[in-house]
Structure formats: structure tokens, C-alpha cells
Amino acid sequence: MLRATSELEFSKEKNTEEISQLASLVLSGDTSTGEKNSTGLPEKTGYPDSVYIMAANVFQGIRFEKSPEKVLIKYGNEPLRSLPESEDESFQRSSYELAFSALKFQDILEAILIDSCIFPSTTIPDHLSSLIIVMLYDFQDRKFQARFVSDNEEPIAEVQEVENLLNSFKIKLAAALARCRIKHDALSIYHILPETVRNQELRASTLPLYAWINTCKISPEEVYYSLKKRGYNKVKSVLHIDDKVFAVDQHCYDVLIFPSRLKNNLLNIDLFKDYKLIFQDKSRSLAVHSVKALLNMDDDILMVNTGSWYTVAHMSILTNNNTSKIFVCGVKSQAKDPDLKNLFTKMGCKNIEILHEAFLNIESKDHRLQKVKVILLLPHCSGLGVSNPVEFILNEHEDTGVLKDFSQGGTSEDKLHILVQQQYEQLTHAMKFTKAQAVVYCTCSVYPEENEGVVKKALEFQDHGIKVQPYRLSPPVLPLCSLKEIHLSTDKFFRMEPSEITNGCFLSVLTRERDPSEAVSVKDVLARAAAKGLLDGIELGKASKREKRKKKKSKIPLSKAPTNDSNDIQMKIAEFLNRESNANANRSETLATKTSLPQKNTTTAGSSSHVRKPNKPTSNPSVPTFMKNTAQPRPYERQTNFVRSRPEDRVMALKPVEIVLPPVMLPFSGSQGIKSQIPTQHFYYRWVGPNTVLPNCFPSPSTSRRGEKPRENLPSSLLRHPRPWL
């Protein structure tokens, strides 16, 4: 017999009240995009059908499998059909986040399904079990409210079937969830998670955003100006600031930092749409800047396991002014080549070459890699130093199995051992490239086994049979900006621990020891440069007229001469060295002639030839001398200036380097005004000689006169440079 209408209405009101009371106890730690309610929290509206399908397939591959005697819910092996739009990055991000959340609460969600009698009472195919799990998590996350469905969305039959099932059991599901919370004495199921997982998620929600500047398209100053026009202010730190601000990173001059809450706003401005600013984790910027510090102008680079293509692009941008070429290995599918080339073209990258071979299959003597001097190795790692595993998977193309490790707060011993072995093999293979001079090894892991353990083992067991110098551990090439960084880098490893401002990072630089047999003199370097024609137009030494005429007759244009003719090179080297030796001899004779001038003044001032103090530079004889009682110089002073020795003409054992500083010109005309306003010691731009005077040199004019003021007190603005034409 059917119940009366009033009884049905009373039962409906009671059920609604019960659902409301139970739902109010269900709080979720995760948030999704959507409109905000009265409390300021994002309102959960659900996901499109295609996101549920993709999330179910991801969950199916990473779920925890239980022993047969403990299995209560069976999962099928067949993946669900996904739509082509699931390749979109936004759909992938939502799907990975939903699958990761369901994985963290897999045990609780299975217990709720059994407690609510959905299993095993209903006859649902096993291949839909993964879909039920991910949709149940989202259902309780929405507090068992209806999902918003767009009119433009194409419905999927499997999603509609599971959604109807969950709606029919929503009272029992809410009650089962409440009993689970009471059992664990938790305010929400979020508090049932391990503390390490909760801290990691909290850090991920507040971690600042890092973006590097594409200097091929825009300069840093232009970026600052553009951001300022949009209301962004430049500050030293973006932490605990609610305004629209940004800061410049201390380690990488082309990296900007933004608060995490501004990501959606930043993605809509032209700087990011036009690839002038690119979001990327800071650890990858640290790696490419380390490589840049080790490069010469024409050195090539080999990048291994690059993960994100933005890392390759950043390396290309930093070497845009060089003649370097970047080789990227490990691209398995050639079908991606057009897309990659299109991306690099949009970003302004021109020096990238893709290799489809796996790194371990590339021989160290490959003819394409003979100019590779630096190898950047970014091995697959556990990634436990990263706060957001979903971004880590999407950006670095890592396997989804990383989500399983993050949900437990750690990596299993077996998997860690496999990763370490792979990293060791790649590092030792990189050290076999005989032409390479440096290897940069970078991970996002916090495990010593993946970091210094791999590096030390590779250095210890490196092959010493190769006829090249062995590798050694070098100090970090990045600036150390704090005492903590200095302390962490005492063993020559660069480390950044996971914190509220950055993810974890480990970086090591290995360089070859210099081969003593390859040491060359300056003459050898110049001779090689002259033989290659690099010094054409540069006069290194004056040759005699006879040598010039002889060279003019025998000179052959370099464009017609074969580059591999050893006799021609030897002749050029011999000619260059002969010319340099003649030039040195001529300079010596000139200096000897200058020092053999009539020494009639040296006898009159023999007692004045004492050791000169370096803190009192002598005045220039060519500058007019201001006397104590008169402003006009004596007549005989100008007649004796030509025989006075200048400090630059002394025969001294100095290196062939001359420092020439410009004279200081001040707008004052009187010496008294200058003395009263400007300290004289700030304007002595003079070359101070050694404390000993050679016997062939003339005494200082300032010491040979009597009755004059010491010239070191003269204002420097009245001094004239002895050789202003230099």
C-alpha cells in the first residue's frame, strides 16, 4: 500500500535534512576552478564527461593492487574510450588532478562503496570500477550536489550510467562518509592523509611561479615596463604580498617570480601568449645557466632527457649570440618533429637539432657530436623534491607512476634502485664522450642515492684507460646567495631544499682536469691564430720594409689557399714568430737609446735619487707648476722638460700591459676652489711604479727642485695626461 502524500513529503524533507547535515560534515582539501560562494571558497561544479573518462584510465594504471584475499572490488583491464579532445593540456591537467586525488583516498573510497552497499549488491561491469572511484571522489567533493552539465558537451554513456547510480545512493554514501570520519576522528577526509602528503599539498598551493624571459623577442627592461603598465610592481620578494607584484630571481638574471594566485591572470596577457615569458620550474633554469657558464662561443651542447621542450628553448635562447648548436636526443617519435619545429620557430630558436636515437645507443665518437663540449643530463628521477606532481608530469613528460609515489609520500626501495641504476648508466656513458669537457647533472630529487651517490660512484669507477684526462668534481658555477646555500655547497654540490619559495633541486658540475701536455704559450696561441688567418688586419709588430716587400710578393689569398696544407701553415707560423722577434728587438733598442741620453742632470741631483714612496705619486713634468709666491713658471723649466725621465719610459721588468686612464676635467678654474671642495686623493689617475729606481733612470723632477710645494697636493683636474692620444 502506497503511503500518503503528507508522509511522502515528510520523508523527502527528512531525507533532504539528513543529506544536508551529513554533507556539511564533508570537507575536501582540494579545490577546483569555478565561481565563489558566500564564504569565498570556490564552488565545485564538476568536470566534463571526457575528463572523468581520462581520469579513470589514469587511475586504472596507477591504483594500488591488493592481495587476492583482501580484494573486495575488482577492477577490469580494459581502458575506457577517450575522446580526441583529451589530448588538450587543460583536460590532461584536470584528469591527472582528479586521478591523483582518487588515488590518495583509494582505501577510504572503497570502504565507502562497500559500507553503502553499492558493492557487491549492484551488477556493475568491472571495467567501470575505476570510473566509479574517480566520480565518487568528485561527488563527495561537491558535497553530493548535482553536477553542472554544459549544453555543448557530448554526453558519454558510461559516465551517465555511473552518475545515475551514485545519485540513487547519495544518502547512504553521505552516511558512510560521516562514519568514516568519526572512525578516524578527523574533521575531513583530507586530515586522514599522512602528514608528509598534507604538507606537500599545502606547499604546492602557495609556491611562487617562475617564468623566464625570451630575450630573442623582448628585453628584460621591456618586460618590466610592460608589467608595470598592467599594474605589476617590482619588489624584492613576492612572499606574503597580496598585490600584483613580481621579483627578479637572484640566481638567474632572466627569471621572474610571481605569486601563485596570479597564474590565471598572467596567462591571459600578451607576454605569455606570444612566448615572451614562459612558465617553468626554477630547477631547469638553474641547469641551463650552469651550462651557459661553461661554454665558449663555438661549443656545441648535448641535452639528455630534457623533459620539457621549454628547457631546450631556454638553452637555445641563452646561446643565441653564439655559434653553438644544441643536440637533443631521445625523441622517439618523428611524428612530433613538425610540432616541435613549429614551437621553436614561434619562440625564435634556430640552433636546435633533434636526434631520435636513445642516449645510450649514441656512440661517443659520433661524427655529429665532435664539437660537443658540454653535456646536460636531466635523468628521470623520483621527483620527490617537487611540490606539485601533476605539473611535474605534464612539464617534464614523466611517467604517471610518479603520482603513486607522491600519494604515499615516498618512493619504494625497488623503484629507487631501478632509477639509480639508470642514472648511473647515463652519467657514465656521458663521461665516455672524449671531446666533451664538462657534464652538468641535475635532478629534482631529495634522495642522496639519486644525487651525490650517483655522481661519486661514477667518478670513482670512471674509465681511466681512455687517452683523455679524467673528470673531477667542480664547484658550482651559480652564485650562492645566502649562508644556507654556501653551507649546502661545501662539498661542491649545489642544493636547494624544498621550501615555501622553491622546489628541491640538486646540481653537480663535472669537468675534465687540464692536460699538462696541452699547455701552450702566448706565442703558440698567436701563431695558431695567425696561421688560421684570424689576425689579418691586426698589426702585432712592425716589420721592416724589406720584409713587407717580400711578403707582398709571396702572399697568397687565404680564400684560395687550401686549409689543410701543412707547409703553408708552417711557413706562416715561422714568418709570424720571426716578425715578432724582430719587433721585440727593435723595441729593446729604442728603449736602450732613450736611456743613454746625456746625463748632465743626474750628477747634479745624485743625492735626490732615493726610493720613492708609492702613496705619493710624482707630478707630470708637462703640467705647469704653481709656485708658492707666483703663478708663472720659471723660464728654464720649459727648457729642461725634454730631458726629464717619464715613469712610462723606464726600463722595468713589467708585463706588456699598459693601463691608460682618461684625465679628469672639472669646471673650476682656480686651484684654491678645487682644494676646498674636492679631496685630492680621489683624483690621482696615475701609474705608480715600484719602490726601486733603476740606475739608468733620471731622478724625479719633484725631488730635484727646492723651494717648491710637493706636487702631490696639486688638484688632479689641472694635470694633463702625458700621452693624451692613447
Backbone angles phi, psi at 370, to 5 degrees: -70, -20
Is pTM beyond 0.75 here? no
One-letter amino acid at 604 equals: T
Mean pLDDT value of segment 424-436 = 94
Cα torsion through 717, 721, 725, 726, rounded to 10: -110
Decide if 95 contacts 400 (C-beta within 8 A): no
Backbone angles phi, psi at 112, to 5 degrees: -65, -40
First and final C-alpha spacing in the chain: 115
Whether the predicted pLDDT of 530 surpasses 90: no
Q: Indicate the DSSP class of residue 169.
A: T
pLDDT band at residue 401 under the 50/70/90 scheme: confident
| Catalytic site residue from 329, 381, 442, 444 | 444
Mean pLDDT value of segment 652-681 = 50
Mean pLDDT value of segment 225-240 = 93
Output the average pLDDT for the chain. 76
3-class SS at 460? helix
Mean pLDDT value of segment 416-421 = 96
Q: Return the percentage of the chain with pLDDT > 70, whole number.
A: 65
What does DSSP say about strands 277-279 and 300-304: parallel, antiparallel, or unpaired? Answer: unpaired
Evaluate the omega torsion of the peptide bond into residue 120 and state whether it is cis, within 30 degrees of 0: yes
Decide if 350 contacts 375 (C-beta within 8 A): no
* Percentage helix, strand, coil for the chain under 3-state DSSP, each rounded to 5: 45, 10, 45
Q: What angle do CA 308, 312, 315 make, to 5 degrees?
A: 135
Decide if 272 contacts 212 (C-beta within 8 A): no
Q: Return the percentage of the chain with pLDDT > 90, whole number.
A: 42
Decide if 547 contacts 579 (C-beta within 8 A): yes
Mean pLDDT value of segment 667-686 = 43
Residue pLDDT, tens place only, 549-578: 555 555 545 444 444 445 666 676 677 777
- For residues 182 and 695, what is the distance between their CA atoms, to the nearest angstrom? 100
CA 462, 464, 468, 471 dihedral sign is: positive
Set of cell numbers at residue 158: 558510461
pLDDT value, residue 244? 93
What does DSSP say about strands 352-355 and 326-329: parallel, antiparallel, or unpaired? Answer: parallel
pLDDT value, residue 37? 44
489 versus 466: the higher-pLDDT residue is 489
> Which of 322, 265, 263 lies closest to 93, judged by CA?
263
Decide if 451 contacts 417 (C-beta within 8 A): no
391 versus 663: the higher-pLDDT residue is 391
Decide if 470 contacts 433 (C-beta within 8 A): no
- For residues 243 and 227, what is the distance between their CA atoms, to the nearest angstrom? 13
The answer to whether residue 444 is catalytic is yes
Using CA atoms, how far residue 433 sits from 163, 409, 639, in Å, is 58, 37, 70
pLDDT band at residue 102 under the 50/70/90 scheme: very high
Whether the predicted pLDDT of 588 surpasses 70: no
- For residues 64 and 48, what is the distance between their CA atoms, to the nearest angstrom? 26
Say how far residue 40 (Cα) sits from the centre of its chain. 37
pLDDT value, residue 38? 38
Residues 6+ positions from 487 with CB-CB distance below 8 Å:
none
Domains and CATH numbers, the chain: 49-193 (no CATH), 282-515 (3.40.50.150)
Residue pLDDT, tens place only, 334-383: 777 888 889 999 999 989 999 988 999 999 889 999 999 999 999 999 98
Angle, in degrees to the nearest 10, between helices 389-396 and 89-104: 140
pLDDT band at residue 63 under the 50/70/90 scheme: very high
> Which of 345, 430, 443, 433 lies closest to 386, judged by CA?
443
pLDDT value, residue 538? 61
